[in-house]
Amino acid sequence: MRKLIAGNWKMHGSLADNEALLSAITAGLPPAPGADVAVCVPAPYLAQVQALLHATPVAWGAQDVSAHERGAYTGEVSAAMLRDFGCRYVIVGHSERRQYHGETDEIVARKAQRALAAGITPIVCVGETEAQREHGDTELVVKRQLAAVIHAVGHCVTEIVVAYEPVWAIGTGRTATPEQAQAVHAVLRAQLRAAAPGERRVRILYGGSMNAANAAALLAQPDIDGGLIGSASLKAGDFLSIIAAAA
């Protein structure tokens, strides 16, 4: 299975910076990259990114989607709107959404449903806080978070991407060791196989401060199928190095 390297720009970017970054990334990629590549960008820039990337090997996506199909939900962006801009992916359940916006497992699951119904692949984020890890609750937490999505989407679980992002390693410069990351990925893999026995492999990405220096060791693990990249995705050289490691 081809690995997937997806950039999460978070709340960064400008028209000029985006063009320079994407030009450098696409110029540095071979015509047929050995890994799938995507960038998930702030919603206001989807039209620009669509125009810049439509003839390249780089896919694009959004960082969030509404749990509602349509209606009086000021400020929300529906899955159908994302589809209009050619989004292939959308991140759901990122820890920053859970922490700062109070998103529950059930809300995340509904967002995944909306994305799938629109033909968009949800990148479903799961992960534990430092306190939860110290209390030995890592497996309990990530399995609970993923179980809500599995219950909501049923057999369509084979169409999602999962991203394990230990909260204590997001934006901190800390990262799980390859062995720590692999252990959690193996738990998630077993959970997915139990939910959809005999189905094709669901990609599970690692997303806790993966960078150019640690990517190769993380991506060498048997159950790590790529990365959801934060700050390193804003530097063309670093992002290209991670893509090369995945290829």
Task: Say how far apart CA 72 and CA 56 lie, in whole Å.
Answer: 36
Which one of the listed residues 94, 103, 128, 185 is annotated catalytic? 94
Task: Say how far apart CA 63 and CA 113 lie, in whole Å.
Answer: 15
Report CA-CA distances (Å) from 227 to 103, 147, 153, 243: 23, 21, 23, 9
Residue count (the chain): 247
Tokens of 51: 């125009």
Asked if 81 contacts 117 with a C-beta cutoff of 8 angstroms, the reply is no
Distance linking the first and last C-alpha atoms of the chain: 11
Residue keyed to tokens 């806790």: 208
Which one of the listed residues 96, 103, 128, 165 is annotated catalytic? 165
Say whether 168 counts as a known binding-site residue.
no
Q: Is 12 known to be catalytic?
A: no
Say whether 10 counts as a known binding-site residue.
yes
Sorted by sequence, the CB contacts under 8 Å of residue 68 that are 6+ apart come out as 76, 78, 114
Say whether 214 counts as a known binding-site residue.
no
Q: Is 189 helix (H, G, I), strand (E, B) or coil?
A: helix
Q: Is 165 known to be catalytic?
A: yes
Q: Say how many C-beta atoms besides its own lie within 10 A of residue 16's C-beta.
A: 8
Asked if 171 contacts 231 with a C-beta cutoff of 8 angstroms, the reply is yes
Q: Is 194 helix (H, G, I), strand (E, B) or coil?
A: helix
The residues annotated with a catalytic role in the active site are 94, 165
* Annotated binding-site positions: 8-10, 171, 209
* Annotated binding-site positions for substrate: 8-10, 171, 209
